[in-house]
A and B are shown apart, each in its own frame.
Chain A
């Protein structure tokens, strides 16, 4: 592992312009700093409204910061300059958003293939990979269904593999399993860990579920209420491969949970 972090956020701040009839503009994030190592699985927890999505939007460059720095491989993201943004940093950062954002006029398969299509990388090999991912997350037989014909969980899975299919080295995830039932959730968490261990991607995973943050992450960052900054940082000293369903019985889980819980408010 190199000494230079892959992704670095320094003294980041963000505020949204005020609107008429509202108080002066609101700082969502102020003085936020952390870094992510290459190949690391970082989980971020924080209360709702703590600017977690805004943070990911700025890392993915679909929004600009108001101050501070966002560095990816020492390249600096534009600050306060929406026109110079490079969303997805030329397909090097994938982003699984909170909403599935599937294109409603495309079928499941067409949605999953969308990134490959627009990148001009559609061939037999990538098609086979897409088919394998579809089978893997239990969407086989639903390839020709439109998003509105799928359940919420299926849409979530389709949106997850839409990002996995083009294999970006870094993936940001914004509560991707938030709206799922416990069973599906555990299956997808296991899948995600297996895929991560195979490809050793760098993942930044935002969640409000402390248990999930511990079960998945190498390290967990706790954000404070807005204006968000880092309220705590915890190395998750639970060896891999982990047993997601039995993680709660691990001796370290209880103390980690208590410590993180105390900081999330």
Chain B
């Protein structure tokens, strides 16, 4: 219900609105400031080091119209999505399996935690050696980088589930799989979403790094190819598009978060 909303608005409607405008204006001002700094930097450092923002914008428009950019975005998204799906699946599924096997968990937990420390990017040459130069090494890299944050968050989430709710569900006749889906999952979903805030941008970054090294398509390839041709405008265009891509993904995630956590009291109480 909207009890909180209405009391907030009733309190000082004009003040609340004014604050929202101020936040929006501040955000726009920051973007403008960033563009100005970029432009000054470009003029000072020269076009080889920092591309002119205006030229970058023109390049993005031209590449979009020609369809080249879409092709690269599609390739990056394709690899990032598949890799993310694989890493995310294991990151969620494994804690649910381990929940039923406390002894196995106790045995392998130190190994899993130790493997967190292995720098995954350092494994890329091995992946190329083992899995060739197609999608496979990129998928391994993305999958691993997504797996760890998701696994650790879901694992912690499962431990945090209120035993009393689980017992209640058992007493009223819920099956174990029903308890997993209803009680455990809903209890840990905010842990999961928090981990996605790390895992999703990582999936895109890892894909781009993979594309620096192998393949002939994707935003990473576009950036690296432009660099090799001393095309700084192309490099900057790639970076801008990649950033926009991550921001777009985050916006989708925020909507997802809002829907899943609609019942939570904090949503409303923390409104500006």
Q: Which A residues are closer than 8 A to B by beta carbons?
A: 60, 62, 87-88, 90-91, 93-95, 97, 99, 101, 103-105, 107, 114-115, 118-119, 144-146, 148-149, 162-163, 166
Q: How far is the CA of A144 from the CA of B262 in the complex (A)?
A: 13
Residue with the highest number of chain A CB atoms closer than 10 Å, among B165, B167, B175: B167
Q: Is the CB–CB distance between B171 and A88 below 8 Å?
A: yes
In contact, B164 and A115 (Cβ under 8 angstroms): no
Q: Mark B201-235, 1 if CB is under 8 A from A, else 0.
A: 00000000000000000000000000000000000
Would you list the 7 A-B pairs with minimal beta carbon distance, nearest first? A88-B171, A115-B172, A87-B170, A118-B174, A101-B168, A91-B173, A62-B167
Given contacts A87-B167, A145-B1, contact A103 B173 (CB under 8 A): no
CB neighbours (8 Å) of A148 from chain B are 265
CA distance A119 to B265 in the complex (A): 30
Given A91-B172, A103-B183, A118-B174, CB of A146 within 8 Å of CB of B167: no
Query: A90 contacts B173, CB within 8 Å?
Result: yes
Q: A95-B168, A103-B182 are in contact. List 5 more A-B contacts (CB 8 A).
A: A60-B171, A88-B170, A91-B173, A145-B1, A146-B263
Chain B residues touching A, majority SS: helix
18 residue pairs A–B, Cβ–Cβ below 8 Å: A60-B171, A88-B170, A88-B171, A95-B171, A101-B162, A101-B165, A101-B168, A104-B263, A105-B186, A114-B172, A118-B175, A118-B178, A144-B1, A145-B1, A146-B263, A148-B265, A163-B172, A166-B172
Which residues of A lie under 8 Å from residue B265 when comparing CB positions?
A: 146, 148-149
A93 contacts across to B, CB distance below 8 A: 171
Contact flags B234-272 to A (C-beta < 8 A → 1, else 0) = 000000000000000000000000000001010000000
Chain A minimum-CB-distance residue to B178: A118
The count of residues in chain B whose C-beta lies closer than 8 Å to any C-beta of chain A is 20
Residue of B1, B171, B182, B265 with most chain A CB atoms under a 10 A cut-off: B171
In chain B, positions 136-193 with a C-beta closer than 8 Å to chain A are 162, 164-165, 167-175, 178, 182-183, 186
Q: Using CB atoms, name the residue of chain B closest to A145.
A: B1
- Return chain A residues, CB-CB under 8 Å to B263: 104-105, 107, 146
Give the distance in Å from the alpha carbon of A97 to the alpha carbon of B265 in the complex: 24
Q: Are B171 and A87 in contact (CB under 8 A)?
A: yes
B162 surroundings in chain A (CB, below 8 A)? 101
A146 — which chain B residues lie within 8 A by C-beta?
Answer: 263, 265
Report the bound CA distance from A103 to B172 in whole Å.
13
- Separation of A202 and B171 alpha carbons in the complex (Å): 17
Q: What residues on B are CB-neighbors of A145 within 8 Å?
A: 1
A62–B170 CB distance below 8 A: yes
- Whether B172 contacts A97 by the Cβ 8 Å rule is no
* B-to-A contact residues, CB < 8 Å: 1, 3, 162, 164-165, 167-175, 178, 182-183, 186, 263, 265
The listed residue (B3, B167, B173, B183) touching A115 by CB distance below 8 A is B173
Determine the distance from Cα of A119 to Cα of B178 in the docked complex, in whole angstroms: 10
Given A103-B182, A146-B263, are A118 and B165 also a contact pair (CB < 8 Å)? no
Give Cα A95–Cα B254 distance, bound, in whole angstroms. 39
What separation, in Å, do the CA atoms of A108 and B159 have in the docked complex? 26
- Asked if B173 and A88 make an inter-chain contact with CB atoms under 8 angstroms apart, the answer reads yes
B260 nearest in chain A by CB position: A105
Residues of A within 8 A of B173 (CB): 88, 90-91, 115, 118-119, 166
Specify which chain B residues have a CB less than 8 angstroms from the CB of A105 in the assembled complex: 186, 263
Give Cα distance in the complex from A103 to B182, angstroms: 9
Residues A94 and B182 in contact, CB atoms below 8 Å apart: no
Q: For B165, give the chain A residue with the smallest CB separation.
A: A101
The minimal Cβ–Cβ distance linking A95 to chain B, given in whole angstroms, is 5
- Residues of A with C-beta under 8 A to B172: 88, 91, 94, 114-115, 118-119, 162-163, 166
> Across the interface, which residues of A come within 8 angstroms of B165, CB to CB?
101, 103
The smallest beta-carbon distance between B260 and chain A, in angstroms, is: 9
Give the residues in chain A near B3, CB-CB below 8 Å: 149
Of chain B, the residue at the smallest CB distance from A61 is B171
A99 to B167, CA, bound (A): 12
Chain B CB within 10 Å — which of A88, A146, A148 has the most? A88
Q: How far is the CB of B3 from chain A (nearest CB, A)?
A: 8
In the complex, are the beta carbons of B1 and A149 less than 8 A apart?
yes
Question: How far apart sit A256 and B26, CA to CA, in the bound complex (Å)?
Answer: 73
B102 to chain A minimum Cβ distance, whole angstroms, is: 11
Chain B residues in 8 Å Cβ range of A87? 167, 170-171
Q: How far is the CB of A157 from chain B (nearest CB, A)?
A: 16
Q: Is the CB of B164 within 8 A of A97?
A: yes
Nearest Cβ in chain A — how far from B7, in angstroms? 13
Which chain B residues lie closer than 8 Å to A94 at the CB level? 171-172
Residues of B within 8 A of A166 (CB): 172-173
Closest to A159 in B: B168
